[in-house]
Copies of this chain bind each other. A is one copy, B any other.
Amino acid sequence: MLTTPSSLDQRFGLSRHVVLPGPLRLDGGALLAPVEIAYETYGTLAPDGGNALLICHALTGDHHVASAHPRTGKPGWWQRMVGPGRPIDTDRFFVVCANVLGSCMGSSGPASGDAATGRPYAMAFPVITIRDMVRAQALLLDHLGVARLAAVVGGSMGGMQALSWAATFPDRLDACLVIASTARHTAQNIAFHEVGRQAIMADPNWSGGDYYDGAPPAAGLAVARMAAHITYLSEAGLTEKFGRRLQAREQKSFGFDADFQVESYLRHQGLAFTDRFDANSYLYITRAMDYFDLAEEHGGLLAHAFRAARARFCLVSFDTDWLYPTAESRSIVQALVAARAPASFVELSSPYGHDAFLLDSPELDRVIGGFLGTGA
């Protein structure tokens, strides 16, 4: 086992990378070996190991949760939430955030080298599940000497991982915080992801996934991102932000340029995404999300997923989130209550739809700080 780079100073976030020998047995039956994991840590692990907190990232996220991205220089994606004196207080917690299995930011995924061939896996990478991501995180925690988590925290796909943690390793966590998430992907959720996958696969550059020596399917990936991005925003939020306002020009062009600001914004979102994300990873991770149905994994009854859980739970939803609406969080709470697990639930008001969990929200800060006992 190999860890690079190492550092004695864990007070600042440091991008690390570990190659664990594996093999990791996956839900689909395959064995994955080795298992690479890119991660960051913040704060110091207490001598008794009791202060570890795992943050799980969303579909296109990464492990740079609270420190600048090494390549883009952009601040961490949850910088406002994680740090000394912040709701997820790194003076108190030893915070770990790992890039999920299947992604393209350093953990094993379709762009990783396949030891058997010496070339990228591409579509030979095994299809993974949310539970497989969680199992890989557990391997990492073993490696870090973390037997038990004080808390696992995640929004969106991160929330699915948090729920899967409670179901898969009930003895390893004390608290579970699930934000803007769901216990299963609905037909509409699957439908939007399928549009994105078909957009990628329709791009001739995709070439059955074997594009790593040539031009990537950027056009298809951009369309996939555009479609998904609409689901992250509320109708009201889009209206507030763009409405029908035109671009710089004052009049409609009567052409097919981006006349409306919302068109230009979406095109930019699509294009910018292709600079930082691998199309095959997008296929694999959306597949994992679509496969996710925690009840199905437990005989069809969601409460059964939490039978052995020892954690206390907190669920947070946003009233304008139509991707994972409040009703999904509420049904999770009902299952937790049925399983006699301590659960609190709050629906926050925000005009920003699903994306609200990533945006500045004093209410969310208070809920998280309150649940983790960090005050605020």
Contacts and interface: CB of A to CB of B under 8 A. Distances in A.
A227 B27 CA distance: 30
Interface stretch (A198-206, A330-338, A365-373): A198-206
A338 to B, nearest CB: 21
Given A127-B255, A185-B244, A195-B266, 11 more contacts: A28-B254, A127-B256, A187-B242, A187-B243, A188-B238, A190-B244, A194-B260, A194-B262, A194-B267, A198-B267, A202-B219
A contact residues, range: 35 or more
Copies in the complex: 2
Contacts of A254: 27-29, 126-127
A272 interface: no
A197 interface: yes
Nearest to A29: B254
Interface in A264-300: 266-267, 270, 283, 287, 290-291, 293, 296
Given A187-B243, A244-B190, A260-B290, A195 B226 contact: yes
Interface of A: 27-29, 123, 126-127, 184-188, 190-192, 194-195, 197-199, 201-204, 219-220, 222-223, 226-227, 230, 233, 235, 238-239, 241-244, 252, 254-256, 258, 260, 262-263, 266-267, 270, 283, 287, 290-291, 293, 296, 322
Given A199-B199, A203-B202, A204-B204, A190 B263 contact: yes
A190 B296 contact: no
A126 B254 CA distance: 8
A266 B202 contact: no
8 contacts: A185-B244, A187-B243, A188-B230, A188-B238, A195-B230, A202-B223, A235-B322, A252-B291
